[in-house]
Amino acid sequence: MKKILSAIAIAVVGATAAASSALAGPAPAAAKDQPFFANVHWDDDFDDRRRYGPMPVPNADAIKRAGIVHLVEVERDDGRIEVEGFDAQGHEIKLVMDRKGQRVLSARRDHYPDD
C-alpha cells in the first residue's frame, strides 16, 4: 500500500511540475535574437495570454537605463510586464513596465547584494 501511495505522490508532483513549466511558456521569438535576453526565465499567465495576446519583448534599453545588467526573469501579471535582474554591484532590481514593455513604471532596488 505504501508503494502505491508513493508512486501516486511522485506522479502528482511530476504532473504539477510539468503543468507549471508549460504555463511559463517559451521566450517570444523576437527575444531569441537578442543576447541580453539569453537564459532569461519567461513567465506568461494563461489568462493574460488569452486577454492580451502574445507576450511582448520588453525594451532592453529601458531595462538597462534602470540599472539592470543581468536579467533573470520577465513575467506578465495582470497585463503589466515585471522584470527582475541585478545591477553591476549585485543588488536585485525589480521593475514594473507598461503592458507593451516599453516604459518603466516603477523600480525597486534591494539595498544589499544577494549572497
Per residue in 3-16, pLDDT (tens digit) is: 554 445 454 444 43
Confidence of residue 25 (pLDDT cuts 50, 70, 90): low
**Residue with cell string 543581468:** 70
- Give the three cell numbers for residue 29: 521569438
pTM above 0.85, yes or no: no
pLDDT in tens, 30-44: 888 899 999 999 999
pLDDT in tens, 67-109: 999 999 999 999 999 999 999 999 999 999 999 999 999 999 9
- Residue 20's nearest CA partner among 41, 51, 50 is 41
